[in-house]
């Protein structure tokens, strides 16, 4: 039986939702003064480690990274007995700046990304400044090189990427966002990524304030709860209560 553990690694944070420019929920200012964590998720046990997202890296994210209380993920992974060079599989939930501009940290990794996500961000949308702010231009240019070098695994729908680790195409927040289902000792956990910034989004089935497709976002929340062993096993993407004052926590 596969038995995985999930750790949340907070690479950086914004002082508040209000100051981050991101809406945590559609019609509410709930928790707007809370810090906003930017995580890497580390899945350990029963085989090689799998990371979910890379968070950001200052030299790629540029001005966006200012004031984000940044820590090199290598320092934080060391506490789990890992080196950045050990990481060979990274699931990228979507291509927003806070989820994938840390790719240069992992020189030996292959990145699992949904086809819908790549097609969208490599399309003509990138001629707009708003799109370039959300999915960093340097990152997108490097993505082309990584694809030609065989470092990107293009996923088209649901797929098992490692024993006990399954990606689920969801859309919602972005066209090709994927959630991640993980078999743990406590049951099936689901990393909801940005279809749920907060526990509030999950419990109330309230969409986040930034979404591509409202229907897909709501269906993703429903599916995450159906996939997980319990609603408590659905893990939101940016809820500071997951970490408190710590940088690394076990979440499942």
Please give the pLDDT value at position 20. 64
Domain that holds residue 183: 5-250
pLDDT band at 19 (very low <50, low <70, confident <90, very high): low
**pTM of the predicted protein model:** 0.95
What mean pLDDT do residues 16-26 have?
67
Instruction: Read off the CATH number of the domain in which 81 is found.
Output: 3.60.15.10
- Over residues 143-189, the pLDDT tens digits come to 999 999 999 999 999 999 999 999 999 999 999 999 999 999 999 99
Q: SS3 string of the chain?
A: CCCEEEEEEEEEEECCHHHHCCCCCCCCCCCCCCCEEEEEEEEECCCCCEEECCECCHHHHHHHHCCCCCCCHHHHHHCCCCCHHHCCEEECCCCCHHHHCCHHHCCCCEEEEEHHHHHHHCCHHHHCHHHHHHCCHHHHHHHHHHHHCCCEEEECCCEEEECCEEEEECCCCCCCCEEEEEEECCEEEEEEECCCCCHHHHHHCCCCCCCCCHHHHHHHHHHHHHHCCCHHHEEECCCHHHCCCCCEEECC
Please count the structural domains in the chain.
Answer: 1
Would you state the structure tokens that stand for residue 206, as one six-digit string? 């309230």
The mean predicted confidence, pLDDT, of the chain is: 93
pLDDT band at 24 (very low <50, low <70, confident <90, very high): low
What mean pLDDT do residues 23-32 have?
61
Please give the pLDDT value at position 23. 64
- Over residues 112-135, the pLDDT tens digits come to 999 999 999 999 988 898 888 888
Integer Cα distance of 73 and 56 in angstroms:
9
């Amino acid at each position: 039986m596969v038995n995985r553990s999930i750790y949340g690694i907070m690479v950086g944070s914004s002082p508040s939702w209000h100051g981050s420019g991101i809406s945590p929920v559609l019609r509410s200012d709930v928790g707007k003064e809370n810090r906003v964590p930017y995580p890497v998720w580390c899945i350990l046990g029963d085989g090689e480690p799998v990371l979910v997202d890379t968070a950001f890296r200052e030299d790629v994210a540029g001005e966006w990274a200012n004031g984000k209380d940044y820590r090199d993920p290598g320092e934080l992974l060391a506490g789990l007995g890992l080196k950045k060079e050990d990481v060979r599989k990274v699931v990228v939930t979507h291509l927003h700046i806070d989820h994938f501009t840390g790719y240069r940290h992992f020189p030996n990794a292959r990145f699992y990304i949904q086809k819908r996500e790549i097609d969208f961000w490599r399309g003509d949308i990138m001629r707009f400044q708003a799109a370039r702010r959300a999915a960093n231009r340097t990152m997108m240019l490097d993505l082309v090189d990584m694809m030609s070098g065989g470092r990107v695994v293009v996923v088209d729908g649901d797929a098992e990427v490692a024993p006990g680790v399954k990606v689920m195409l969801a859309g919602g927040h972005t066209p090709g966002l994927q959630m991640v289902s993980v078999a743990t000792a406590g049951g099936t956990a689901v990393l909801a990524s940005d279809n749920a910034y907060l526990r509030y989004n999950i419990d109330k089935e309230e969409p986040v304030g930034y979404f591509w497709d409202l229907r897909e976002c709501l269906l993703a929340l429903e599916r995450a709860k159906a996939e997980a062993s319990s609603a408590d096993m659905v893990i939101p993407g940016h809820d500071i209560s997951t970490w408190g004052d710590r940088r690394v926590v076990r979440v499942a």
